[in-house]
């Protein structure tokens, strides 16, 4: 049985603050990306922003993760460790970041195209962002978890791409990962009933080719087996009586 925490209004207010701060940090990172930077440069900027906003980087030290943000380039799906990789024109750079603010977590990811992108790469970004919005639209009281999952899967597959199976979204609040797990594939009208006060990190990872992934020897970085590019968008979303409220914007 899953044990999904229903947040109080007071908790939602803090989560909203945590979401807004993270959205500001990610927007700043996004606008500073340019060819020639290393992924470590991006992480150093993230570190500075965390200090400036007086929050804590949620991933640093999480199960030993060594950086402030996960930065994944092209065939890297998720959990890329910032390092010496240099970003260049036509790259897809995914930034996934979480913060802790007053004891509460927010979690967000974006994929950014560097310079001029091949049309198929731009389409991958657009479809993944849109898939997240399709999933968010289903996050309302009375729906079931599978409505979120299947909306994402159906949209992505209708555009000729595939959804990653090995990583899923999650509940979030006082912990980074709370129940339930939120797959990006599944059956409509199945799974737990959604209720006002649930807070979810919904995060489709979409591959241009097949959905298979593997983990590199660093123990973290997930890459596509077919080496084709992948994109990732994530928002932290509260379910309210009047529908979904995106916290990370
Ligand atoms: Mg997440």
pLDDT tens per residue, range 73-114: 999 999 999 999 999 999 999 999 999 999 999 999 999 999
Q: Which residues surround ligand 1, an ion (CB under 5 A)?
A: 107, 201, 203
The CA distance from 104 to 176, in Å, is: 8
pLDDT for residue 127 is more than 90:
yes
Q: What is the mean pLDDT of residues 222-231?
A: 98
Distance between Cα 115 and ligand 1 center (Å): 27
pLDDT more than 90, % of the chain: 99
Distance between Cα 242 and ligand 1 center (Å): 24
| Enclosing H/E stretch for 96 | strand 92-101
Q: What is the mean pLDDT of residues 219-236?
A: 98
pLDDT for residue 1 is more than 60:
no
CB 121 within 8 A of CB 129: no
- The fold of 9-246 is Creatine Amidinohydrolase (3.90.230)
> Quick one: pLDDT band at residue 3, thresholds 50, 70, 90?
confident
Q: What is the mean pLDDT of residues 208-222?
A: 97
> Quick one: pLDDT band at residue 191, thresholds 50, 70, 90?
very high
Q: What is the mean pLDDT of residues 190-204?
A: 98
Distance between Cα 144 and ligand 1 center (Å): 20
User: What is the chain's alpha carbon radius of gyration, rounded to the nearest angstrom?
Assistant: 17
The CA distance from 136 to 151, in Å, is: 9
Distance between Cα 79 and ligand 1 center (Å): 10
The CA distance from 205 to 194, in Å, is: 22
Distance between Cα 32 and ligand 1 center (Å): 23
pLDDT tens per residue, range 130-189: 999 999 999 999 999 999 999 999 999 999 999 999 999 999 999 999 999 999 999 999
Q: From residue 56, give the alpha-carbon distance in Å to each of 21, 85, 108, 242.
A: 11, 25, 14, 31
What ranges do the domains of the chain cover? 9-246
10 contacts: CB under 8 Å, gap ≥ 6: none
Q: What is the mean pLDDT of residues 187-212?
A: 98
CB 194 within 8 A of CB 36: no
The b-or-e profile of 32-66 (16+ CB within 10 A means b, else e) is ebeeebebbbbbebbbebbeebebbbbbbeeeebe
Distance between Cα 41 and ligand 1 center (Å): 22
Please report the pLDDT score of residue 2 as a whole number.
67
Distance between Cα 230 and ligand 1 center (Å): 16
For the whole prediction, is pTM greater than 0.85?
yes
Q: Which residues pair with 102 in a beta bridge?
A: none
């Amino acid at each position: 049985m899953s044990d999904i925490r229903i947040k109080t209004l007071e908790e939602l207010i803090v989560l909203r603050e945590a979401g807004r701060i993270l959205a500001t940090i990610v927007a700043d990172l996004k606008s500073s990306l340019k060819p020639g930077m290393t992924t470590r440069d991006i992480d150093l900027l993230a570190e500075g922003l965390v200090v400036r906003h007086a929050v804590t980087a949620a991933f640093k030290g999480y199960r030993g993760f060594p950086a402030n943000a996960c930065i994944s380039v092209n065939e890297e799906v998720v959990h890329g460790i910032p390092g010496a990789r240099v970003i260049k024109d036509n790259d897809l750079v995914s930034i996934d970041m979480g913060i802790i603010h007053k004891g509460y977590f927010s979690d967000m990811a974006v994929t950014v195209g560097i310079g001029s992108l091949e049309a198929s790469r731009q389409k991958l970004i657009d479809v993944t962002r849109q898939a997240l919005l399709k999933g968010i639209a289903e996050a309302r009281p009375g729906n079931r978890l599978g409505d979120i999952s299947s909306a994402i899967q159906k949209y992505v597959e209708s555009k000729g791409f595939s959804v990653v199976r090995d990583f899923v979204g999650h509940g979030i609040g006082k912990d980074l990962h709370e129940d339930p797990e939120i797959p990006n594939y599944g059956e409509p009208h199945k799974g737990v009933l959604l209720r006002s006060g649930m807070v979810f990190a919904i995060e489709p990872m979409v591959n241009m080719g097949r959905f298979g992934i593997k983990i590199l020897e660093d123990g973290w970085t997930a890459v596509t087996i077919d080496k084709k590019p992948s994109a990732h968008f994530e928002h932290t979303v509260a379910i309210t009586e009047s529908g979904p409220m995106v916290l990370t914007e």
